[in-house]
Amino acid sequence: MAFLEVQGVVKRYGRYLANDQISFSVEQGRLFGVLGPNGAGKTTLLRMITRIILPDEGSILLEGQPLSAEHQRRIGYVPEERGLYRNLTVLDNLQYFGQLKGLSRTEATAQALHWLAFMETHGWEKKKVRELSKGMSQKVQFIAAVLHRPSLLVLDEPFSGLDPINVEVFLRAIDELRSQGTTILFSTHVMEQAEQMCEDIVLINRGRIVESGRLRDIKARFGIRRFELDFEGDSRFLEALPPARILSCTDHSVAIALENGFAEAQQIIAWALERTTIRRAECIEPSLREIFIETVRRSQSEEVPA
Ligand code: ATP
């Protein structure tokens, strides 16, 4: 049984279909990415998984049980828009949110102080939220969502607006939660981060799933399409290759487009060895960014205009 199951979920805003028959499942303890361009329907989906809004059709199950108000205590949610009380201090906010999720005031305080230290936010307890920068309040919002040790943590665009140092702090916190067994679902349109973090993904475009599964299987399905060769000496031997196949070429390095993956790469290596000295040869997997762009474009071109 999957930890979280989304089955045939539909959400309409008036006549607009924001989520159209979304189905996928998430295994316990996994880091799962909900990807898609702006307006794809990611936030709508996450708001249904956190039961802030309800689906019009379909169902969402947590450990086999239909999602209910009871489950909300087991879920932590970091929304895209901040939801802290601006005139209260950081600690007052955290104590309030911790108690809302069932912690005693003492437990909430202890967890708040632990996470404030972990997130490198020492000494912020007494600051009013209105005095915090965007990135600082993002950290406090994150702490508010994890204080009660949720078994499912849902993060909507968790890295937007963070500088690289704070991205690292967030990644460390996510690692820590995963090592404790937390299942984490997050949305993003920043493919490089998703690529670095996720084991499994769904890719949504215009409310529909256009790709899903384990990232490594999706990459394997797309196949190797690019091959890089570093060589010694001049590059004249490359003149024998069709120019359209050469993606880029510098003094001692060339990137070649492959039509037949690995087998073709082997042939090129054998051919090049007779003509030059090879320093490095590497088949390059498609990046998630390339997969994203190609899949979204393909799904748009397949859509029948209404
Ligand atoms: P982004 O990456 O830009 O945050 P998203 O993938 O999270 O986008 P959603 O916020 O889920 O997308 O929005 C999906 C679609 O549903 C959009 O076209 C949006 O305008 C529409 N939508 C979202 N919320 C509402 C609402 N409350 N009322 C009407 N339409 C809405």
Do 64 and 13 have their domain in common?
Answer: yes
Q: Identify whether 231 is part of a domain.
A: yes
Residue nearest to atom 24 of ligand 1 (CA): 44
In this structure, the answer to whether residues 254 and 173 fall within a common structural domain is: no
Whether residue 19 sits in one domain with residue 80: yes
Nearest residue to 50 (alpha-carbon basis) of 87, 89, 6, 2: 6
CA distance linking residue 190 with residue 33, whole number of Å: 11
- Look at residue 165 and tell me whether its pLDDT is greater than 70: yes
The domain in which residue 57 lies consists of 4-219
| Same domain, residue pair 191 and 97 | yes
237 and 121 in a common domain: no
Q: Is residue 248 part of a domain?
A: yes
Predicted pLDDT of residue 94 = 96
N-to-C CA span, the chain? 39
Asked whether the predicted pLDDT for residue 176 surpasses 60, the reply is yes
Indicate if 19 and 127 belong to the same structural domain.
yes
Does 189 contact ligand 1 (Cβ within 6 A)?
A: yes
Which residue's CA is minimally distant from atom 29 of ligand 1?
Answer: 13
* One domain, residues 173 and 236: no
Position in ligand 1 atom list of the atom nearest CA 207 = 14
Segment holding 47, helix H or strand E? helix 42-49
Distance (angstroms) between ligand 1 centre and the Cα of 92 equals 32
pLDDT tens track for 187-245:
998 888 888 889 999 999 999 999 999 999 998 888 888 899 999 988 888 888 888 88
pLDDT bucket at 297, cuts 50 / 70 / 90: confident
168 vs 157: CA distance, rounded Å: 15
Tell me, using a 6 A CB cutoff, whether residue 38 lines ligand 1: yes
- Picking from 9, 82, 98, 16, the residue whose alpha carbon sits closest to that of residue 49 is 9
pTM (2 d.p.): 0.86
Q: Which of 194, 219, 244 is the last residue of a domain?
A: 219
Domain annotation covers residue 97: yes
Residue 178 belongs to a domain: yes
Let me know whether 39 and 158 are in one domain: yes
> 62 falls in which pLDDT band (50, 70, 90)?
very high
Q: Is residue 173 part of a domain?
A: yes
Q: Are 104 and 241 part of one and the same domain?
A: no
Question: Which of 219, 241, 275 is a domain's end point?
Answer: 219
Specify if 293 maps to a domain: no
CB atoms within 10 A of CB 77: 22
Dihedral (CA of 68, 73, 79, 84) sign: positive
Which of 185, 84, 75 is CA-nearest to residue 134? Answer: 84
CATH of residue 259's domain is: 3.30.70
Residue carrying structure tokens 């007494």? 126
Cα–Cα distance measured from residue 94 to residue 114, given in angstroms and rounded to the nearest whole number: 12
229 and 214 fall within a common domain: no
- Answer whether residue 16 is part of any domain: yes
Instruction: Reply yes or no on whether the pLDDT at 90 is more than 90.
Output: yes
Ligand 1, atom nearest to 37 Cα: 2
DSSP code of 260?
S
- Please give the pLDDT value at position 12: 96
Domain closes at, from 171, 201, 219: 219
pLDDT at 261: 80
Same domain membership, residue 155 and residue 248: no
Instruction: Report whether residue 205 contacts ligand 1, using a CB cutoff of 6 Å.
Output: no
| Residues 258-285 pLDDT 10s | 888 888 889 989 999 999 999 999 998 8
Q: Which two tokens stand for residue 122?
A: 């020492």
**Structural domains of the chain, count:** 2
Nearest CA to ligand 1 atom 21: 18
The answer as to whether 302 is a domain residue is no
Say yes or no: 160 and 266 in one domain.
no
Q: Is the CB of 41 under 6 A from ligand 1?
A: yes
